[in-house]
Amino acid sequence: MNHNLLVENFLEVLASEKGLSRNTLHSYKNDLDQFIDFIQKKNLELTKFKDRDIKEFISQFKDRGYERSTIARKISSLTHFFKFLLDEKEIKINPLRNFEIPKQTKKLPIILSSTHIDKILEFTKKDRSAPGIRLYTMIEILYATGIRVSELVEMKLSSVYEDKNFLLISGKGNKERLVPISKKTRRSLEKYLTIRNYFISGQDKSMWLFPSKQSSIGHITRQRFNQLLNQLNLDANLGIKRISPHKLRHAFATHLLENGMDLRSLQQILGHSDISTTQIYTHVLKERLKEIIKDNHPLSKVNLD
């Protein structure tokens, strides 16, 4: 039994039948590569795999201090893989059939305030070089639209839609949605487009909105964008532990809710398939509202003893 070939076939099925995103497929592949490495070192066969072997594989991540959410994802990857093997009749019994998946605890995102966002944009705008203009534009688009970082870096030039009033976003499962942008963001985008060729080699053409000469995939990568944000945080001395694309998305969502947007509209803009994903932002708001009432309501200042 060729284990690596089975993983390859499994990923092909996921890509063609499930329409999973590249990032999700990459996570599955990493998890399963670790798993195949484990069984090869142990000289184990998938046909004779037991639940105790699964426990041994998972325990190594617990011992290394991996987060519960990461361990749960690895178990999920294995669950889907063994179901595939069962469907393909490569195995007769699924060793994960009675395996308990650890419950994941939802972490509330740390939200950047509007003051933080203003400082980030103000500092970035001072850099009038081509890389500075690109970074400013990417940050503004992320905060102005709340799109995922993968959607940002993989955006095509043709995504600038209807005279730059909308961006056509290709989200998870290749689902497309139109996201409106403001006049301010539109002007920033127009300024960036005048220097976009700086990031293209010679007479080459690129379909990407944010091309890159250094990237083998043709556009700026998530990792590079993350590096630029972290360097910005250090250079600007913002007093923030860390800036990430996800924090900009969280700030976008929370600030809209604070200003009265309803959950259904926010769900559509964020591209969430399930509104329960969107509802995590309401938990953040509830805690903030409690503090506001505690600090400002007249009864909170009355001593009833």
Is 272 tagged catalytic? yes
Q: How far apart are CA 185 and CA 136, in angstroms?
A: 10
Assigned token pair, 227: 């590096």
Find the catalytic residue in 74, 80, 148, 196. Answer: 148
Phi and psi dihedrals of 78, rounded to 5? -65, -40
Do 179 and 189 form a contact (C-beta atoms < 8 A)?
no
Is 283 tagged catalytic? no
Is 148 tagged catalytic? yes
Handedness of CA 141, 147, 149, 153 (dihedral sign): negative
Q: Is 208 helix (H, G, I), strand (E, B) or coil?
A: strand
Task: Name the strand (E) or helix (H) holding 170.
Answer: strand 166-170
Find the catalytic residue in 74, 134, 196, 249. Answer: 249
Assigned token pair, 140: 């503004």
Q: How far apart are CA 188 and CA 182, in angstroms?
A: 10
Find the catalytic residue in 116, 172, 186, 224. Answer: 172
Is 172 tagged catalytic? yes
Q: How far apart are CA 22 and CA 19, in angstroms?
A: 9
Q: Is 262 helix (H, G, I), strand (E, B) or coil?
A: coil
Query: If 0-12 CB within 10 Å is exposed, 13-18 middle and 19+ buried, where does residue 64 land?
Result: exposed
Amino acid (one-letter) located at 70: T
Q: How far apart are CA 102 and CA 89, in angstroms?
A: 28
Q: How far apart are CA 64 and CA 60, in angstroms?
A: 6
Do 77 and 27 form a contact (C-beta atoms < 8 A)?
yes
Catalytic positions, written as ranges = 148, 172, 246, 249, 272, 281
